[in-house]
Amino acid sequence: MDWGTLLGTVVGAALGVGSTLIADHTRSRRERANRMHDSLRDLYSAYLAALNDSSSVLRVIILREDDAAARHQAALDAFRDASVLTHRYRIALQAPLTVREESDRTYRLLRQWRDMLGAQPNLSLSSPEYLEGLERFHQARKDLQAAMRASLDAAGR
């Protein structure tokens, strides 16, 4: 029996198995990263949609409701119906720190804006307080979107 042939066969088999294991591991990591990227993208989209839905309803409430208590209740209902808080909790669990911080800031500004509806019965779409709250919320949402894009870019690498 030629030991060189046997040794060559064993080394070749070991290299073949090793390269297969490395390729499988690399493929698994890439697939896991793709799933994480897709999951974050879907989460971010849902949260931004919930924020947008709530802010749109707040504008409609100002136009339709004159009673402060009714305005406040309608605003609370809008938050609940859009599941803003549910999406915010998911962001807190899954997103990187920068996105969580921007998410919290955006949520707090939207909540302040919501609470303004009940606290200021004469609030209108042209009120300085309304316009200031709207602008702060829009800027926070833009900052949140930038943090989300950066997070997705980092997750896509």
Tens digit of pLDDT for each residue in 42-95? 999 999 999 999 989 888 888 887 787 888 888 888 878 888 989 999 999 999
122's enclosing H/E stretch is none
Higher model confidence: residue 66 or residue 108? Answer: 108
Rounded Cα gap, residues 153 and 150, in angstroms? 5
* Burial class (CB within 10 angstroms; exposed 0-12, middle 13-18, buried 19+) of 71: buried
**Distance between CA atoms of residues 26 and 18, nearest Å:** 12
**Which amino acid would we find at residue 127?**
S
Q: What is the predicted pLDDT for the residue at 109?
A: 94
